[in-house]
Structure 1
């Protein structure tokens, strides 16, 4: 069976490879070595002048990493016989996708994976050029002095902890809510109840009939 991927972006790989996790982590690697040079080299007996950041070169490194990853996806497509149809598609029939500026694609089965885009809430001043989404942040050519993030998406969490304002020697903060795990049960002394934690891991609720039976059996063995 022949597989076809309809993608309008200039590179394959989706948000993660092009404008998300991979370019952000490339910045992280730059920040890591900058921090190592500042704090660890002297302890190891490595004498260098004070390290400085060349942000333009860091961005060139980031772009090269992204290019390597997206080219790898294109190579996988070619090796596995997947055709890349460049453009935007829409369903024009039960088994047909019309591609803007291209030929129709007929299919037996289709997977819809359109991704998402940042929501820009109606906040006064948000149309300022200083207000950018995650893609705009990664496109910066000058290192911001300070930054503030609003939202709770994964892209913001990546930026809060790994983007230039924090890791490359600038100030940054973010606002938003993260998903939290349910609190662990605690015993009468306020300590985490390890037994209830293990029981939940095995799909059993503490205090059930099975738990009481196992407790009696354990007491019998100890006797």
Structure 2
């Protein structure tokens, strides 16, 4: 017997669940398929929420340990890993309980299985059940990549999942990679008291950011005591009696670093291999992500995709927006497609990195005339009194309109500051119009007014 549904979400994380939630407004018969051990998705269970809970606790600890800089005497500040772990579990439980309650509310047909396509409109579950759908969305996320490095398959090597689930303080760790996850985990481990080495293959960590942005974070990590090595070539990982050896080339020399643990943070790959996409006529991009149009529709017009499995940005709020857009489109509701020129992303290191809109590299590629203006945090009142002097804010204003096309902030709480500029980019506001806003003194946000003034002044003299 084949069961039929109006809308089927394959994956119950942020993209799939929110697609199903919207679809349920227009269809009576909506199904969610999720075979994971726990319901909730990557963000809640193993991503955003647990990592940021731990990172914030580590920041509080770091500030306490730096108390003398603020005129404070805090004799003893150290981590209690068991208590930290329990706080994390309690925090994410609130989000997990809400998501599970919603999925099990009776609004959806919930299948706790894995699925694969057997035709263009039918999937088969791992228990043999077949489901036929009028519309599908694939939101199966991603998994930790394993590049072709000898030893990377050793079962004792940790991933981000293992680090986020620690209840005891590790003695030492080598973090492989220089992306967002690698940098956040490196700083977290170091701040809670683990001797941490970070090995990055590219010349800079956070290689997708502007080089001078990456350098700010590099200097901060090194100043804190992280052993950071960039521009390397990983050669091998081997197990030893005391932990691991990682061998790599660095500045023309073969180097070996040793630690009790190794963390593979070398990136993630789309989780699509077991879905039988070829049976449904669904095509992939060269990087393995699912090919979609502006409405998230795949090469099979009845099937949509959202989140990490399709990209182009592996960010949870993007997955939510993609899932919602797909569900509206499947329901016949016209919505404006996502504008990736307005994309927003944040790295939760300290200093944080935040970016919105077009980068300088992209502006040059498109031959767009612009003015770049920046201002450093080490010459700004609020950041000085907070001992948060790392970094700068940089704005890109279009010529001759002054419209804000993009912005970069590397600083304390950059992820909070960037939203004022996200509003500006998304709504086409100009530097002159933003200067009509009141920028309160003394605040971190006030620094944004300085490059705005520079853009307005430069346009006035041209």
Give the TM-score normalised by the residue count of structure 2: 0.37
Task: Provide the aligned C-alpha RMSD in A.
Answer: 3.6
Aligned counterpart, 1:144? 170
1:3-43 C-alpha deviation (Å, 9 max, x unpaired)? 21111112233212111121111212321332344344996
Aligned counterpart, 2:195? 171
Task: Tell me if 1:60 matches 2:86.
Answer: yes
Bigger radius of gyration among the two: 1
Do the aligned partners of residues 174 and 160 (structure 1) sit closer, same or farther apart at CA in structure 2, a change above 3 Å counting? farther
Aligned counterpart, 1:212? none
Tell whether the 8 Å contact from 1:17 to 1:23 is kept in structure 2 after alignment.
Answer: yes
Which one has a larger percent strand, Structure 1 or Structure 2? 2
Tell whether the 8 Å contact from 2:67 to 2:74 is kept in structure 1 after alignment.
Answer: no
Aligned 1:51-200 pairs, distance under 5 A: 51-78=77-104, 81-101=107-127, 103-128=129-154, 131-161=157-187, 163=188, 165-172=189-196, 173-177=198-202, 178-180=207-209, 181-182=359-360, 193-194=371-372, 197-199=396-398
Shift of 1:157: 3.5
Q: What SS does structure 2 have at the residue aligned with 1:108?
A: strand
Output the CA distance in 1 between the equivalents of 2:108 and 2:139: 16
Q: 2:42 aligns with which of 15, 20, 35?
A: 15
Tell whether the 8 Å contact from 1:146 to 1:170 is kept in structure 2 after alignment.
Answer: yes
Output the CA distance in 1 between the equivalents of 2:184 and 2:60: 19
Aligned counterpart, 1:217? none
Does 1 or 2 have the higher relative contact order (CA < 8 Å, sep 6+)?
A: 1
Output the CA distance in 1 between the equivalents of 2:44 and 2:53: 11
Output the CA distance in 2 between the equivalents of 1:130 and 1:89: 29
Tell whether the 8 Å contact from 1:20 to 1:155 is kept in structure 2 after alignment.
Answer: no
Q: What SS does structure 2 have at the residue aligned with 1:149?
A: strand
Length, aligned pairs only: 197
Which one has a larger percent helix, Structure 1 or Structure 2? 1
Tell whether the 8 Å contact from 2:172 to 2:194 is kept in structure 1 after alignment.
Answer: yes
Do the aligned partners of residues 203 and 80 (structure 1) sit closer, same or farther apart at CA in structure 2, a change above 3 Å counting? farther
Give the TM-score normalised by the residue count of structure 1: 0.70
Tell whether the 8 Å contact from 2:115 to 2:123 is kept in structure 1 after alignment.
Answer: yes
Shift of 1:92: 2.2
Do the aligned partners of residues 193 and 125 (structure 1) sit closer, same or farther apart at CA in structure 2, a change above 3 Å counting? same
